[in-house]
Every structure is written in structure tokens, then in C-alpha cells.
Structure 1
Amino acid sequence: MDSAATTQKIINKYNKWLSYWESKKDGGQSHAINNGFSLASGEIYCWLNSDDTFTNGSLKKIAMTFIKSNAQFVYGNSLNLKAVNSHHL
């Protein structure tokens, strides 16, 4: 789910690996996430913002947590990275 028109070019590049996507005006990030979850099927849902990434092994840890426990919800810590010589306005 995405509300930014500029992202459509990037999405089109990876379209063959996506089962569904849409880009339209919505009520903000939370609204878009809720819309996505309402369309999703399966047992495990996740969202990852466009400027975020998983660290190595994260998906395996998540899967093993669900397999080894009766957890219904899993979350993790964030790690804030800052590029060397970056400039923030």
C-alpha cells in the first residue's frame, strides 16, 4: 500500500515479485497500513516502511518465535543508523 505517486516507478520495477499493490490517496500512513492488512491473507503480517530494512537473520528469528511459541504478536527493537557525512536539515 502506498500513497506516494513517485514510488510507483520503483514498484513497477519489482512488480513481478508482488502479488498485489495499489497507490492512491489515503488518510495517511496508519490508514494505508490498515487498508493493507484488511486485504491481506495468511497467518503472519508485517509492514516495513520505505526507509527501513531488516537486519540479517531477522526474518528467521521472527519465524522461529512463531514456531516455538504460542505468540500472536511479535515486535522487535529498532536500530537507528546514520550515514557518515550525512546532512540533516
Structure 2
Amino acid sequence: MGEQEKYWLVYAKATFVIAVIAMVVSIIKLPGDLLIKGYYSICSLFLVSATITLSKAVRDQAESKKLVNKIEEAKTAQLLHDLDD
């Protein structure tokens, strides 16, 4: 892993933790009864879960396309090599 990738990973993790802490503090400080705070807590947890799922799905799709492209390039290179012979 390159130096830049390492810093990006640290940044991503730090911003996630800061956002979750800010969300928790905001819900705790929210005026209202426990039912309202519970509703916002459940919605927030669902939003975080959906975001993680979406980012993983997008990453998996990008990696799949990358693999397919490498396979296609290898097939094309093999065809070109066979045509030269």
C-alpha cells in the first residue's frame, strides 16, 4: 500500500468516527422524549448500514469490471500474438 493510500484510509476512518460521534451527541442533545431519540437513532444506524453496503457494492462492481477488462486485454493480446505467428 502506498503512502498516499495509507493516509487516505486514515482520513476516511477518522471522518467516519467523527461523523458518528457528532451524530450520537446530536441525538443525545436533541430535545424531546426517548421515543423521538430512539427513532432518530434507528434511522441513523440504518443510514450508516446502507452507506457501508452501497460503498461495498460500488467497489465490488468496479473491481469486477477491472478484472473483466484485464481478461479482455489478455484475450486481445493473445489474438494479436496468434495473428503475428
For Structure 1 versus Structure 2, the TM-score category normalised by the shorter chain is under 0.3
> Which entry has the higher C-alpha Rg, 1 or 2?
2
The answer to which structure, 1 or 2, has the higher relative contact order (CA under 8 A, 6+ apart) is: 1
Query: Normalising by the residue count of structure 2, what TM-score does the alignment of the two structures yield?
Result: 0.26
Query: Normalising by the residue count of structure 1, what TM-score does the alignment of the two structures yield?
Result: 0.25
Which structure shows the bigger proportion of residues in helix conformation? Answer: 2
